[in-house]
Amino acid sequence: MTIIDAHAHLWLRQDAEVDGQKIKTLDGGKSLFMGEVRQMLPPFMTDGRNTAEIFLANMDYAQVAAAVITQEYIDGQQNEYLLDVQQAYPERFLCCGLVDARIPGFFAQAETLIDRGFRGIKLPAGRLIMPDRRVWLTCDEMMRMFKLMEQRDVLFSVDLADGETQVAEMEEIIAECPNLRIAIGHFGMVTREGWMSQIRLARHLKVMIEAGGIIWLYNSEFYPYTGAVKAIKEAADAVGIEKLMWGSDYPRTIVAVTYRMSYDFILKTNLLTDEEKALFLGGNAHKFYRFGDLPELPYLRNMSE
């Protein structure tokens, strides 16, 4: 079974501001996060560097062949580093560039990122609803960017605000840019009211749903995340299993569980067939993200076995 992670993060150092609040790397895997100290990384990542090499070691051990690297404003913009990662490991990573759509002029940023070789652009769209203002996904500059991305065949990776808040805007984007490939993250913010409205966007031909962060959203339930599996089954019944993809939201989620545990609860469930598991864990992502030949990774016994 080919396993592909459709939602992960890399950074050299967090240095960001969201809604006037700071996010800064500290030591021991901790970060200052919007007024409090949070365990952002496993504590053995003492320097706060969330690098491609550390992730590849986790991927190889967990037999994950490839990963899509998204971005978030809370981590700070990592475009230069991710260009280096994409060049160094083109067969293992598809990296998305980040534009700061909170500030006018982001169309030029997107154009530059595409020209420099990014095959995807990420928008943490929920962050565009700010305490004092809102940037609409359908504003003129946004639509110019989406039409450019459609023309250049560049992926649109997006995390939406809870529930139906931005669904109507997405419907308008899809209508205007029917050939724009779209990956909607965080499994539609499952566990929040109205999450299925985001899932139903996948009824459109070029729209997929990825499950990055699903175990974060079901953290209170914890392993083996039976509620998450039931939600995947419900979404599959609505739009088809071929529209859904696994994602880990690495590295934040591996503070609570190991990287392998972020997907093996899918392997162990009896609510999905083997074919459904294979499609969800990698088959759909392989086709949608257009990965080429991927490595076959052997299973390695650990010292507790």
The pLDDT value recorded for residue 281 is 98
The pLDDT value recorded for residue 97 is 98
| The two three-digit tokens of residue 120, written as one number | 């995807």
Split the chain (305 residues) into runs of 10 and give each run's mean pLDDT: 97 95 96 96 94 98 98 97 98 98 97 98 98 97 98 98 98 98 98 98 98 96 96 98 98 95 97 98 98 95 91
C-beta separation of 137 from 128 below 8 A: yes
In the block, tokens 């305490």 appear at: 131
- Residue 103: exposed, middle, or buried by beta-carbon count in 10 A (0-12, 13-18, 19+)? exposed
The pLDDT value recorded for residue 148 is 98
In the block, tokens 């993060």 appear at: 9
Alpha-helical (H) ranges within 20-138 are: 52-62, 79-88, 106-115
The pLDDT value recorded for residue 230 is 98
Amino acid identity of residue 119, one-letter, is R
CA dihedral 238→241→243→249, nearest 10 degrees, is 110
Please tell me whether residue 164 adopts helix, strand or coil conformation. Answer: coil
End-to-end CA separation in angstroms for the chain: 22
- Residue 242: exposed, middle, or buried by beta-carbon count in 10 A (0-12, 13-18, 19+)? middle
Secondary structure element (H or E) that encloses residue 21, with its range: strand 21-25
Nearest Cα to 102, choosing from 76, 79, 136? 136
The pLDDT value recorded for residue 65 is 98
The pLDDT value recorded for residue 290 is 97
**pTM above 0.95?**
yes
C-beta separation of 285 from 6 below 8 A: yes
As a whole number of angstroms, the distance between CA 219 and CA 227 comes to 10
